[in-house]
Amino acid sequence: MVKEQDVRNGSASAGELSRSEASPAGRIQREVPLSYQQQMRLRRDVAFLDANRPIDNHPAGAVYSVTGPFDVVAFEQACGDLLVRHPVLTIGYSLTSGVPQTGYLLDPALFRVRHAESVTALANATNAVHRSAFAPDDFKIQITWAPSTGSETGRILIAADQIAVDGNSWTTLLRDLSQAYELRLRGRSLAELEPAADYAQYAAEQRASLMSAELTGRMAYWRGQLDPLAPFGEEVLAGARRPPAGPRSARQIRYSFDFDLLLAAQETGTTPFSLAMAVHAAVRYVRSGRSVVTTHCTADLRGAEYANSVGWFSGVLVVRHKVAVDDTPAELGSALLGSVFDAVDNAVPLAILQQELEPDRLRSRHWQPMCFLDVRDMEDQNSLQLAGCTLTEIEDDLSLPGLRDGVACWFTSAGQRTDLLMQFEAEAWTRDHAETFVADLEYVFDLVLQDRDCTIAEMADRDWPEQRQPRNKVLFT
């Protein structure tokens, strides 16, 4: 049974949080510095608005089916506690005067859990999030509750704007909300816990580091890492063609491999991420004939003091590595992981690299066949827990990242299967190229599982037909 106790009093309906409620006028607690990631995101938002395009954000999000006794009042109180603990969720900013250097914090008391009349109405709210529902002067989190009938008590939609919550922070947010709800059921609150470090402090520290001698040293590392190597991106997509000037469109692939990436990594003595990187590198080396491979990946760049904080701590890293053909995939994966750690130690925002190091070669807004890679253990994702209730996460694409130039691959491991979600530019790559790339990945994974001592050179000597077909059906969207 759901305990409501006048929960609708003062609450907005799904998708209808009033701008007047979220208005900064007279309600600003304090101004806060913006991080470099936020600043660049706002710069892009301004460019989109100037071009009369909708702001393109890619929120973290999830939809949960709830069964069992659910206390809506305690849940709403828990949501308020969450905003007090993580002020970045209340950040607002105005784009009317160009790109701001600072944001402002809205009063958490203005936040309301939205109420949908039914699960169908909640689905409409979910679609609104897909349509970039986060506005500059809004709260950076949306939570919608919808009652249901039958055995299901209801459903909860949680979505957070990327400008305030990255993938790593998403698990922290769900953990804290789970704990806040349990505490509220006992008449207590998150305020009892040790405070989390404020993201505004991280933003100020990051801004200071980008104006220090430390940045000079890091730029020297990247000049040595990037300049002497092969032209940026040329080795990634065999057969790719430069698309004509104009708009670009994305194609998406879903594919299920017949193996468990986690188990394969254990058997080869490596990690899922480094094994996926090694297989990618092997395929690109064989297909392009170039020994230098380029991969883009995200990394959590926060220090230990921000381990319990929410914010945008992730950065995109450029990883450049020269393939040693006598390495096994496990050895190549370890070496690639070492290159990732070096990139983390010398992390510089990608936009600064683009500005400082040969802009024509590094500029991401022009076509370049680069590769983005991520691996997620779906069983290890920290999910929402509500004391006394059973929650089932409903599969949804709310957290689908945006297309990057070239190809972007996300491996997700769940149970006994490994799924691949891949995006590519339709103007640069054909459907046949995409299917061959998937089949090549499958072929190399098979080789690794059959013979962990097989070297990259030995793989290159195998049969590599111009077109290879994957075993299972490739789903194109």
Q: Which helix (H) or strand (E) holds 316?
A: strand 314-322
Are residues 221 and 200 part of one domain?
A: no
- CATH number at 186 reads 3.30.559.10
Q: What is the rounded CA–CA span in Å between residue 121 and residue 128?
A: 11
Q: Which residue has the higher pLDDT, 56 or 317?
A: 317
Q: What is the rounded CA–CA span in Å between residue 256 and residue 414?
A: 11
* pLDDT band at 381; cut points 50, 70, 90: low
pLDDT in the model for residue 235:
45
Has residue 108 been placed in a domain?
yes
Q: What is the rounded CA–CA span in Å between residue 116 and residue 108?
A: 21
Among candidate residues 205, 239, 264, the one where a domain is terminated:
205
Has residue 317 been placed in a domain?
yes
**Which of 173, 138, 148 has the alpha carbon at shortest distance from 61?**
173
Q: What is the rounded CA–CA span in Å between residue 148 and residue 121?
A: 11
pLDDT at 17 over 60: no
Q: What mean pLDDT is predicted for residues 294-303?
A: 82
Q: What mean pLDDT is predicted for residues 104-110?
A: 90
* pLDDT band at 352; cut points 50, 70, 90: confident
* pLDDT band at 358; cut points 50, 70, 90: low
Taking a C-beta distance cutoff of 8 angstroms, is the pair 89, 164 a contact?
Answer: yes
Are residues 294 and 191 part of one domain?
A: no
| C-alpha gyration radius of the chain | 23
Q: Which helix (H) or strand (E) holds 407?
A: strand 407-414
Q: What mean pLDDT is predicted for residues 268-290?
A: 87
pLDDT at 421 over 90: no
Tokens of 157: 């939609």
* pLDDT band at 407; cut points 50, 70, 90: low
pLDDT in the model for residue 404:
45
Are residues 190 and 223 part of one domain?
A: no
Has residue 166 been placed in a domain?
yes
Are residues 195 and 246 part of one domain?
A: no
Are residues 363 and 304 part of one domain?
A: yes
pLDDT at 178 over 90: yes
pLDDT in the model for residue 269:
86
Has residue 460 been placed in a domain?
yes
Are residues 192 and 337 part of one domain?
A: no
pLDDT in the model for residue 454:
93
Are residues 116 and 219 part of one domain?
A: no
Residues 6+ apart with CB under 8 A from 436: 466, 467, 468
Strand order in the sheet with 371-377: 314-322, 292-300, 371-377, 407-414, 417-425, 250-257, 475-476
User: Using CA of residue 81, residue 84, residue 89, residue 91, what is the dihedral sign?
Assistant: positive
Has residue 95 been placed in a domain?
yes
pLDDT in the model for residue 415:
63
Q: Which helix (H) or strand (E) holds 241?
A: none
Q: Which residue has the higher pLDDT, 24 or 131?
A: 131
* pLDDT band at 94; cut points 50, 70, 90: confident
pLDDT at 332 over 60: yes
* pLDDT band at 360; cut points 50, 70, 90: very low
Any idea which of 88-97, 216-225, 318-327, 401-410 has the lowest mean pLDDT? 401-410
Q: What mean pLDDT is predicted for residues 89-115?
A: 87
pLDDT in the model for residue 377:
56
**Which of 446, 20, 31 has the alpha carbon at shortest distance from 257?**
446
pLDDT in the model for residue 330:
92
pLDDT in the model for residue 24:
45
Q: Which helix (H) or strand (E) holds 280?
A: helix 272-288
pLDDT at 310 over 90: yes
Are residues 199 and 258 part of one domain?
A: no
Among candidate residues 172, 205, 238, the one where a domain is terminated:
205
Has residue 187 been placed in a domain?
yes
Any idea which of 63-67, 167-171, 228-232, 325-329 has the lowest mean pLDDT? 228-232
Any idea which of 169-183, 201-215, 284-298, 434-448 has the lowest mean pLDDT? 284-298
Cα 398 to chain centroid, rounded: 11
Among candidate residues 153, 179, 205, the one where a domain is terminated:
205
Has residue 294 been placed in a domain?
yes
Are residues 420 and 456 part of one domain?
A: yes
* pLDDT band at 385; cut points 50, 70, 90: very high
Has residue 103 been placed in a domain?
yes
pLDDT in the model for residue 20:
35
pLDDT at 43 over 50: yes
At position 351, the amino acid (one-letter code) is: A
- Grouping H, G, I as helix, E, B as strand and the rest as coil, residue 214 is helix
* Length of the chain in terms of residues written: 477
Q: Where are the alpha helices (DSSP H) in 304-378?
A: 329-345, 350-356, 359-362
pLDDT in the model for residue 324:
92
Are residues 59 and 152 part of one domain?
A: yes
* pLDDT band at 366; cut points 50, 70, 90: very low
* pLDDT band at 268; cut points 50, 70, 90: confident
Q: Which residue has the higher pLDDT, 182 or 281?
A: 182
Tokens of 398: 């709310």
pLDDT at 74 over 90: yes
* pLDDT band at 23; cut points 50, 70, 90: very low
How many domains in the chain?
Answer: 2
pLDDT in the model for residue 16:
37
Q: Which residue has the higher pLDDT, 243 or 166?
A: 166
- CATH number at 299 reads 3.30.559.30
| pLDDT, averaged across the chain | 79
pLDDT in the model for residue 325:
92
- Each residue's pLDDT tens digit, 196-252: 999 999 999 988 888 888 888 888 888 777 654 444 444 445 566 666 666 667 788
Are residues 440 and 341 part of one domain?
A: yes
Q: Give the structural domain span for 329.
A: 213-370+405-476
Are residues 355 and 219 part of one domain?
A: yes
Q: What is the rounded CA–CA span in Å between residue 48 and residue 55?
A: 6
Maximal CA-CA distance, the chain:
71
What percent of the chain is predicted at pLDDT more than 70?
A: 78
